[in-house]
Amino acid sequence: DAKTTQPNSMESNEEEPVHLPCNHSTISGTDYIHWYRQLPSQGPEYVIHGLTSNVNNRMASLAIAEDRKSSTLILHRATLRDAAVYYCILSRVGGSQGNLIFGKGTKLSVKP
Amino acid sequence: GAGVSQSPSNKVTEKGKDVELRCDPISGHTALYWYRQRLGQGLEFLIYFQGNSAPDKSGLPSDRFSAERTGESVSTLTIQRTQQEDSAVYLCASSQGVHRPAGYTFGSGTRLTVV
């Protein structure tokens, strides 16, 4: 699977929007973009995924660049509970590898 | 059940003993995954099951590690002759299918401490 690059850490203020970037310059046409987050002392939690079009759900929005070589997870109003490690992962439908590979992610800190 | 259930939640064992970790996936989820997370580290993939078969065992760290799944449901991860470096949180996840972009649901993990 293609690799992703994320900043090690980011800071945000409570109730402000947060834009978490992810670069995936070697993405292929059949790679989906997934975002998970891991709150302290918990297992990872699915956030959102997309292929080409921007996606919205109750947790976040996913903005995908037109060339698909980068994407941004948008938290519209950060809360203290959003402090977590955020993982951007690519997976290939029908690929030989059946599992998601988690990188180091971005540790998001939210200040009150 | 409503979520992925793992047991025990905590396990302390003596070096050299065998341990069994259990995972109950979401009903109907055909794919099941095991990951390991050492303290302060990222997730390390161990093995996945599609149904009862495990097509990819390359992530298992050594031959002391084995896993099985029966009835397309419960899975057990067995670690024989535990070593201190096996201390970690072992996470299980399930999904509706392997080769689909379906979301994974993770359990809360089993924290294994080898003393």
Any chain B CB within 8 A of the CB of A91?
yes
Select from B43, B99, B105 the Cβ nearest to the Cβ of A98.
B99
Any chain B CB within 8 A of the CB of A36?
yes
Half-sphere exposure of B51 (CA within 13 A, CB side): 2
Cβ distance A102 to B50 less than 8 Å, yes or no, reads no
Chain B environment of A102 (Cβ under 8 Å): 35, 42-43, 45
Mean pLDDT confidence for A20-46:
91
pLDDT at A3: 85
pLDDT at A1: 54
String of DSSP letters for chain B: --S-EEE-SEEEE-TT--EEEEEE--TT--EEEEEEE-TT---EEEEEEETTEEEE-TT--STTEEEEE-TTS-EEEEE-S--GGG-EEEEEEEES-SSS-PPPEE---EEEEE-
Residue A31 amino acid letter: D
pLDDT at A104: 86
Cβ distance B42 to A104 less than 8 Å, yes or no, reads yes
Which is higher by pLDDT, B91 or A28?
B91
Nearest CA in chain A to B38: A41
What span, in angstroms and rounded, lies between the C-alpha atoms of A21 and A72? 4
Nearest CA in chain B to A48: B103
Chain A environment of B93 (Cβ under 8 Å): 43-44
Collapsed DSSP state (helix, strand, coil) of residue A72: strand
Q: What is the pLDDT of residues A62-96, one digit of tens each?
A: 999 999 999 999 999 999 999 999 999 988 765 55
Any chain B CB within 8 A of the CB of A65?
no
Nearest CA in chain A to B33: A99
Mean pLDDT confidence for A2-26:
94
